[in-house]
Each structure stands twice: as C-alpha cells, then as structure tokens.
C-alpha cells in the first residue's frame, strides 16, 4: 500500500486508530492559527501512546529553525514538515529530516523546487492567507508529478472518494490526508478513516523513502 500520513491529529485515540488501520506516519500541527494546533505537551502524549510504532511528524509554519528544533527535541519527533514560506536554508537548519510543502497555484512553477535538499516535497492546494487544511484539491492535471527532483507526497482535499484518481494522475510516493477523514477540525471520523484505507488497499508503495 502507498505510504499514508494522517495529519492534524490532536489526541491519542485518533492517532492509535490511524496506525491500526495502516498509517505509515501521523502529523501534529504546531501552527497557532490552525484549528488543529496542539501544544508540545499534547503532542508528547500522542507520541508516547504510539510506542514508536509509526513515524511522527511535526508541522510548522514560518517558525525559526531554533524553535522547531526545540519542539522536535521536547516531543521526540521523527520528521518535520515546513508548510510556510521557508527557504532552503531554513530547511537545512533542522536537526531531523524535512518535508517541504509546496502550495500549488494556477501559475505554479516547479523550477525552484530542486533547491530544497529535503526528504520529500508535499504538494498542497494554494489558497490566499492559508497554509494548508483547506479541504480543497488543486488541479492535478496542471502539473507533472515527475518534474520534481525529490519524492512527492500528494495532499490537499483528499478523501476516500477521490484519492485513487489523485494517485493515478500524479503517481506520488505517498499521500497525506487531514480534513478528508474528519468529523470536525482536529477530530477524526472512524468510518472515514476506514473507508480511506479500504480504498488504498490495492495501491502499491514506491521505492522512495518518505516516512
């Protein structure tokens, strides 16, 4: 199965369910403007409840690298996802492997993506004033999933009903789902999670190391 990151987790129950269903990674958001934001203390509890069974990812937006590294050490995170306007230099200052989010707009140019020396690039929908969690997909036909020099994670508006189409169109190395499996912001819906993983059972993993 293609590697799956379930993002925007705020509690241990949802995180453990995601792992039981087959998640390769879980994501916790440390961006105060997000309705899914958690504190380091909350994230610690989630990580402790997983007992190292899955890769843990912290999502940050335009935070100084020193601040990101402090949270990584406090919580015990495996990876960091930088979802703001961070530069390649910002990514290089993180102590664990980095996933860099690229926000795909109509006029998106993949030319600068190669400057990021990161574990993977996450493709998400662009919406003015937002850094993710829009619940909307970008135009998958508008970009070439093979144009990037790093492994690609598909995100943005994914759910059980459209995720296979997104995978078929862009051939990503992994997928990232947040709002598409929620009952409410920050609270996952068990039925939506189960439907998602059922839909993905026929997919195959790539050779790329993402999570």
Residues 28 and 56 sit within 8 Å (Cβ to Cβ) = yes
Helices and strands counted in the chain (H then E): 6, 10
Active site residue 37: no
Active site residue 7: yes
- Select which of 14, 78, 90, 124 is catalytic: 124
DSSP state of 184: E
CA 7 to chain centroid = 6
Nearest Cα residue to 88 out of 130, 118, 121, 60: 118
- Select which of 7, 78, 90, 176 is catalytic: 7
What whole-number distance in Å separates Cα of residue 185 and Cα of residue 190? Answer: 14
Active site residues: 7, 124
């Amino acid at each position: 199965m293609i590697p799956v990151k379930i993002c925007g987790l705020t509690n241990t129950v949802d995180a453990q369910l995601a792992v039981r269903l087959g998640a390769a990674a879980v994501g916790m958001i440390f961006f105060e403007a997000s309705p899914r934001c958690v504190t380091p203390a909350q994230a610690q509890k989630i990580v402790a409840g997983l007992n190292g069974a899955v890769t843990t990812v912290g999502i940050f937006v335009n935070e100084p690298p020193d601040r990101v590294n402090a949270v990584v050490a406090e919580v015990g995170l495996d990876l960091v996802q930088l979802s703001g306007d961070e530069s390649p230099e910002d990514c290089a200052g993180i102590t664990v492997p980095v996933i860099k989010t690229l926000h795909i707009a109509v006029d998106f140019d993949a030319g600068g993506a190669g400057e990021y020396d990161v574990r993977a690039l996450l493709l998400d929908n662009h919406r003015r004033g937002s850094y993710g969690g829009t619940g909307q997909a970008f135009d998958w036909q508008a970009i070439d999933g093979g144009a990037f020099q790093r492994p690609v994670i598909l995100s943005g508006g994914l759910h059980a009903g459209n995720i296979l189409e997104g995978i078929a169109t862009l051939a990503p190395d992994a997928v990232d789902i947040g709002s598409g499996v929620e009952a409410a912001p920050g609270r996952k819906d068990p039925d939506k999670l189960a439907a998602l993983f059922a839909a993905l059972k026929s997919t195959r993993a790539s050779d790329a190391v993402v999570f």
